[in-house]
Amino acid sequence: MEEITRLLSAKSKLLKNLALLGYQHLAFGSISDCISLITEENISEERLGQMDLFMISEIKKPKDGAMEIKFFDRLKALEKLGAETEERGGAVPFYEALEKGAMALTKRDE
């Protein structure tokens, strides 16, 4: 029983950390691939598979041929990260997330 409880606890922590990573990706991730999806005309399946479209919540293609893309709300992702930080009892992880996001953005711009 103790081992099962330990494994369930580890799984729960893992899922929580994966969710936090997802929120970080939503809050600080680049939308350049999403913009390429709109602007490029003939995208190969290989190129499409390499694109980071994590920030997209919905894609519609109305009858007029245009493409409508809805993104996840970055502010809500930041709120979730902030709430998790408060739950843990400190702002250090939140600032670490901000720092990682800023570093990712500067690396992308280089």
Q: What is the mean pLDDT of each run of 10 residues along the chain (110 residues)?
A: 91 89 91 88 89 92 84 91 73 68 71
Q: Give yes or no for a contact between 85 and 93, defined as CB atoms under 8 angstroms apart.
A: yes
Q: What is the pLDDT of residue 98?
A: 73
Q: What is the pLDDT of residue 110?
A: 58
What DSSP element (H or E) covers 18?
A: helix 2-28
Q: What is the pLDDT of residue 75?
A: 92
Q: What is the pLDDT of residue 23?
A: 92
Q: What is the pLDDT of residue 102?
A: 77
Structure tokens, 39: 């602007």
Residue 11 DSSP label: H
- Secondary structure (H, E, C), 70-108: EECCHHHHHHHHHHHHHHHCCCHHHHHHHHHHHHHHHHH
Q: What is the pLDDT of residue 109?
A: 59
Q: What is the pLDDT of residue 42?
A: 85
